[in-house]
């Protein structure tokens, strides 16, 4: 049984959205957003918050490939 993640309830019923849960060993206190050639890395918890933007198409592609490798081992959340 997959664990309950409250944030999923916010997005799971949006048309076209598929939610998956990554294995615990792969989790991180950061959020990574990839938009075109930009990679935005932000902390998502703790006392201090930090965000950085990398504008480089090769780095963005590398993060996309990383995303899909994690997506492939993640479990679907119904």
Alpha helices in 1-78 (DSSP H): 8-11, 57-73
Q: Is residue 2 part of a domain?
A: no
Long-range contacts, stretch 22-25, CB < 8 angstroms, 24+ apart:
22/70, 22/73, 22/74, 23/73, 23/74
Indicate the number of domains in the chain. Answer: 1
The pLDDT value recorded for residue 53 is 97
Parent domain of 64: 8-76
The pLDDT value recorded for residue 4 is 64
Q: Is residue 21 part of a domain?
A: yes
Say whether pTM exceeds 0.75: no
Q: Is residue 37 part of a domain?
A: yes
pLDDT in tens, 17-74: 888 888 888 888 888 999 999 999 998 777 888 999 999 999 999 999 999 998 888 8
Q: Is residue 23 part of a domain?
A: yes
How many C-beta atoms surround the C-beta of residue 3 within 10 A?
7
The pLDDT value recorded for residue 37 is 97
């Amino acid at each position: 049984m997959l664990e309950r993640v409250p944030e999923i309830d916010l997005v799971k019923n949006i048309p076209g959205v598929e939610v998956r849960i990554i294995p615990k060993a792969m989790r991180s206190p950061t959020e990574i957003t990839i938009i075109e050639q930009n990679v935005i890395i932000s902390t998502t918890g703790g006392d201090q918050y930090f965000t950085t933007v990398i504008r480089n198409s090769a780095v963005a592609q590398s993060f996309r490939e990383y995303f899909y490798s994690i997506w492939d081992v993640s479990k679907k959340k119904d």
